[in-house]
Amino acid sequence: MNHYPVLLDLDGRRALVVGGGPVAARRIRGLLDAAADVEVVAPSVCEDIWDAAERGELTLHLREFDASDLDGVWLVHTATGERSTDNAVAAAADSRNLWCVRADDAAASSAWTPAVARLGDVVVAVNAGADPRRAVALRNAIATQLETGELPLRRHRMTGGRGHVALVGGGPGDPGLITTRGRILLAEADVVVVDRLAPQALLEHLGPDVEVIDAGKAPHAHTLTQDQINALIVERAKAGQRVVRLKGGDPFVLGRGSEELAACRAAAVDVTVVPGVTSALAVPAAAGIPVTARGITSRFTVVSGHDGPLDFASIAALDGTLLFLMGVSRLPEIAAELQSHGRPSGEPVAVIEKGTTADQRVTLATLGTIAARAADRGVQSPAVIVVGEVAALADT
């Protein structure tokens, strides 16, 4: 095949479709997506074409084709289902040096429409000669890889202008639990500012020229302060870079995503928030613990065990499941205070370390025994503490 592939700018330019059936309707949709000025010539048309004409999306001529229909046209599609008519359209187009796409006979066409996969400004066109189903199968496979961020999407030529910040929730630890939107933005990123609890395995898929900045926070050990992180992502975006702030769990669940969002807005930097699967729900689920269960409880409360003094009297009085994030270092205090404020010592407790990962471990006990049990097993963060009857359902 000695065909020359090319993309056409049809915005505002006339495109003629001869034929009114479902095949013609599919061709029309692609032309309308390209903002072409579409005219359709056919004695009768299917419902999709009629509705598009009623909406004013195209101009419809309910009659047979005439060579004068080609006046002022840039591109022709013929899909009448009648070979003699398609031959006449193709011949008339050829005599006027117009490209004509034939739906009935690819070998007789002077132009072809490939199967197309799109993602943002990325367009991948697939042509498989006279085998359109093969082209569609390839297109679908490529589209899936584009939509899951498995193909290299990062720009290599800077086009100027302001950059962008994406606050991406990476999920609870398993790299497969990031959203497809988050994965795509990672594949496009110039800079990734990553937290300690973000899925580190995702960084292995980045190109060697993507800058990775560790902004991890551990107890009493902060690589960057929050103010420094805010300044960093704003500075890089203003330099025209695509910045991904990759965080564990969800950026708005006991994280500081809201502060980073406010910093970007204050600096007039474009910013997107991509929700993540929060560890508060996903980690118990990975251990077989539903945070709500019919006949047991219909509510749950998420508590930060890391930030300052806790109002244990109010927390202990809450009905339902209690979920403590970042609370391993305070586990003995949490257990003792909940009991002193009325929670029964026999209430089930589960501590799930490194949830959703291959190193996940579950420690099951009660409020009265969990502190000693956790110390005996050497429980460490990151972990989610589950207090409530549902904890007894843990898969240990």
Q: Which residues are catalytic?
A: 195, 217
Q: Is the dihedral of CA 44, 46, 51, 52 positive or negative?
A: negative
Q: Does residue 76 contact residue 70 with C-beta atoms inside 8 Å?
A: yes
- Polymer length in residues for the chain: 396
Q: Does residue 233 contact residue 260 with C-beta atoms inside 8 Å?
A: yes
CA 344 to chain CA mean position, Å: 43
- Could you count the other beta carbons within 10 Å of the beta carbon of residue 226? 14
Give me the phi and psi of 192, to 5 degrees please. -120, 120
Long-range contacts of 102-106 (CB under 8 A, 24+ apart): 102/78, 103/19, 103/23, 103/24, 103/27, 103/77, 103/78, 103/79, 104/78, 104/79, 104/80, 106/130, 106/132
